[in-house]
Structure 1
Amino acid sequence: MTIASPFSFRHWTVGAKLASCASLLVGSLFIIFTLALTYSAGKQVDSLAVSEMNEQAAGVADMIEMVNTSLNTEVDSYTRLFTNFLPSDFALDSSGDAHIGSLAVPVLKAGGKALNLDTSIPDDFLQRTGAVSTIFVRAGNDFVRVTTSLKKQDGTRAMGTVLDPTSPAYGNVMAGKSFSGLATLFGKRYITKYQPVIDSAGQVIGILFVGVDITKQYGDIREKILSKHIGSDGHMFVLSSAAGPQLGSYLVHASDEGKKPDWPANVFEQMMRSNNGQVSYQNATGNEQFMVYTTIPSWHWMVVVSTDRDSLTAEVHKTRDMFLIIGMIALLAFVLLFLGLARRLVSRPLVDAVSLAERFANGDLLARSEHQRVDEIGSLMSALNGIGQGLEKIVGEVRQVSSQVLHDTENLAADSAQITRQIATQASSLEQTSASIEQLTSTVQNNAHNASQATLLVQKTATAVKDGASAVSNSVASMGAIKQSSQHISDITTLIETIAFQTNILALNAAVEAARAGEQGRGFAVVASEVRALAQRSSSAVKEIEALIADSLQKVEEGHQGAEKTQQKMRDILESIEGVETLMKDIDTASHEQSIGISQVNIAIMQIGKATQENATLVEHSQHTADALSNQGRHLSEVVSVFKISE
């Protein structure tokens, strides 16, 4: 199982969690807002920079166009003036060629005057206007300077030099058209005009050239161009758009004039497809190099404003970084302030609430929180106070109830123990009663058997008496036998008297035991009472029989005194014997009933014993339950005694 680090988020305080979440939210919003603002500002700055680059390129182009227009006007004026310096008719002298340097060229004449090597005209024109001039003569497909005020870098006149056939002017002149434009001649830049000289046959036989030195203007324009900056890395330069070997090379650049850019070739090809536009490529550092360009056709210039695109938003990013630093400082201050407030307003009250709850958990229900807050924390503390009050009330009631339960369960356990002892005593008594009943049952069965035998004897006696009554005449002879029979009857009556006495005693004992048995022995008591009554009657009857037998013996002895009197007595004896027979039958019936009743009493006592045993089991279980309840009540009292409550 993985154990959480104590520095994990779960172990932080609520204040720290709130501060961290709020700080994360505020910081995220701030970063998102800053990045969105940076992105928007970057887009705006980029758009403004592109607009500014276009404006600067267009401004330079407009400036050059203005300069070009002004200079072209001036050159046109000088060209007309130079033309006026010369006769109007031009022709080639076919009589022979003139040598200029190492070249043999035709002689060009104007108004019959040869112009070759005549420097007075261009010098005079230079002196008058300050503009250089040249007269070219056509020699085949070349145009050779035959007179000029234009000088080479070494200061000598550019006599005998040839017009570059790749220059824009060459094509125009060959087509019989004038050409005006910028040209670099022997290290100097001029605004030039090349005007073809056409003879009477309409053939181009030469060129009149006028050029205004724009070294100063060019220098100003160059400085103006090089002074342009966009952002921290942007700059302006000029590329040549003129056909020829110089196509695409730097014309104006801080350090690489005459060289070609080191960017991919397709970039310049893309730029050449339109007069103005935007293009970008990946420079050597891997950044995007962005360029805005516009073309000046009259000068064959392509004015380019170039910058590293990242430099356009460098200030924005710098400002963004500054805002982020300030924001982080502000966020840190916010975190500290929020954390302090959270600790004061949330964490500390929650710690108090936890402490209060722990005191409740430790049993101190008298603990309370003193506060005056009415917010959610205040409601929580009030609720905890309410919980403490409620628990104090409940524990107080539980303590009272547990004390009462303990007292009642102890009483119940004591009562159960007492009942157990009483049931044990009752069970012992029932066992003794059951034994007595068994003995009584045996005795009653014997009594019933003896009563049956006595009944038979009485019946026999009655038969004998009847026989004696019928044979009174033989009474004297039979007196001895009668005496013996009477003696036998006396013994039997003695036995019956003994049985009746024992039956009376047993019935008395049975009545006592039935009284002890209570409600369940009530029926048996009635039976015992009836048996006793029968025993008493049996005893009385026996006594009467004894008296009768005694009287019979006397009568036997006095039998000789009169048979008639004996016969009468025999009748009395017969009647008495019949009564005795009836009594013996009653005794026999009562003995049987007594036996049945005692059996029922025995069954009832057995049932009472079984019920007593079941009651003993139940009472024992109740005692165990009462003991368990007593122990639980005692434990409950010990548990609730831990809590501190007001008495």
Structure 2
Amino acid sequence: MSNFFKFNRHGEVEYSNNADRGLKAWLRTFHVGVAMKLGLVLVFFISILLIGASFILSSYLSTQLQNNALESIAANTRIFHNDINTEYKRLMGDAERYSNIYINNYQNVSSKPLRTMDAEELKALLSDGHTNIKFSELTTIFTSTFVRQGEEFVRVNTSLQGSEGRMATSTVLSHDNPAMAELIKNKPYSGVVVLYGKQFISHYEPIADKYGQVVGAVAIGFDVKLALQPVIKQLLAVHIGDDGFAFVLDAGFMPGMMIAHPTLANQQVQNTTDAHGFKYFGDMLARKAGTIYYDTVNTYGAAPRKKLTVFEHIDGINWIIGTTCYVDDVARSSILVRNALLVFSVILMPIILLLIAIASRFLISDRLNNVLKISQSIAQGDLTADIHVDHNDEIGDLLLANEKMRYSLHSLVGDVVSHAKHVHKAALKITEAVDGQASTSVQTSSSVAEITSTMEELSASSTQIAEHSRAVVDIANVTLDDCNNGSESMAELLNRMADIDSDNQQSMHEIMKLGNKSKEISRVMVIINSVADQTKLIAFNAALEASSAGESGKRFSVVAAEIRRLADSVTESTYEIENKISEIQNAINRLVLNAEKGSNSIKAGTTACKISADRLHDIVAHAGQTSTAAMQISLSTQQQKTASNQVVMALREIVVASNYTSQSINDILSISQDMTQLSQELNQASQSFKLTDNPDEQA
């Protein structure tokens, strides 16, 4: 069943369970009446309005209260600033008065006025320490008396302690002291000075001789911290809200040093950061005056709280006076107002809901229940109900729409009953016709399947024949290539045999020449042997002549003997040469015979190679014819294979089409049977509608 319910009216608006969101989806989960849902919706929107108004009002009041609190904190800061500034100015005036009294003490111990004395007299008077000691005992302030020596002012009497804890007598006034320049000009100076690591509110008064030349000076001063301590205590005693307080920060002498603070007094706080790393005291030192917000954490693990600080700068002593408190303390009153408004809204909502429910019951619920009963009777199939429109409003329009719907359904159901009978009869006829067609289609499909199987076997045989013929073509091509290679090799062999025959003929010719040369050597050896025989006769004759000569022929006898011996050696050598030449001639004769035999063999091999070459040419020609015939057979078998495959594919398509036709006929048969069944069910369903009060007319 679909998850979507569609209601078409004018714009054909569609609603779905998956698309429901927000307030509509929430209301649909409640099984309550329309009046109650209307009340809930109204209460919801009224609640939103009340809560929104309370938040807007509380925000406005919070802003006003915070502004008032901020103004109050700023006013307190100004008050603290004025108190310290007033005390500072009072101390400045006291320092000036005390300096006059201090100078008058010197005047009292002198016999003539100071302004009529020369430089030496004044220096002697100022160097007397009794006046300084007496004045220091009577007061708690520091006093110093200076005598000018060139460009320096030297302390001759003082109650000021130096850096080592001893009296600073015989020390000079620092050139960094702002009073130095004024004293040289014979002018007094009042202000804050730094002496040996401390701040003093001081007054410097020059003392001049009768010529108007400055020969000395006196200084009166109050320790700033000690002098302003009463005011600072009063400041620390003041509390703003639950956790608010005031503090004093040094911005000149020791920037960042906390002078007065409930927990950080006498600590360097310039680099102190808040929960986000913000150096808020450093920002105060840079800005001097203004308002700042920052987040602080009181204890480890606690959430940071926003703090507000209003601060101002005090000129002269270069201090920053500030007042701080937590922002949530300031906003507490606005939170109480907002909570009160929210409680009032919560109490008011049930009352509004009750009033809306009572009004909706009489105006909407009862009339909608009447419409619901009529709709339920139509839903149950009773189309004979009489609908009466009571009012001309939306619910009356709904009743009129139900009446139109009842009339339309009455006509529609009557037509459906009539048409269902005709559809039922037509479906029975279609079922009978399609059933016979299905049997015929099954037989046709079986026959085509058998033909397809036979053609597939034939196609497989054609495929094997084509593959074997292709293999024969490949073998014929390989044989043809081998025959061509053999023919080429045989031709090369014939060329090599011709070269061998030519080389053999050349060798025989050279051997014949070598035989002729050996015969010529034999003739030369005959000549040599003849010469050797003659030489031996000559040697023999020489020996005879030598023996007949006696002692004088002995030497000639030796020579004749050596010649004879030489002739014998030549005869032996020629004999050996003749033997070697005979052996060479015999070898040459054998070589000639062998060469002639080799020549005959070469000629016979050449003849055989020619015969083999001719036969190979014949084999090549036949192999070419065989390859061509095999190619023709392969092409024919390939064409046969392609044709058989096309036939098989066509038969398969026929089988598929036949199966599809059979399936379609079966589907049509099933649909016609379903139509028959549905027409029966439609007749039965139409019987559930009550079209008339007479049962016979209904049938």
Q: Give the shorter-chain TM-score range.
A: 0.3 to 0.5
Q: TM-score, normalised by structure 1?
A: 0.46
Q: Which has the larger Rg?
A: 1
TM-score normalised by structure 2 residue count: 0.43
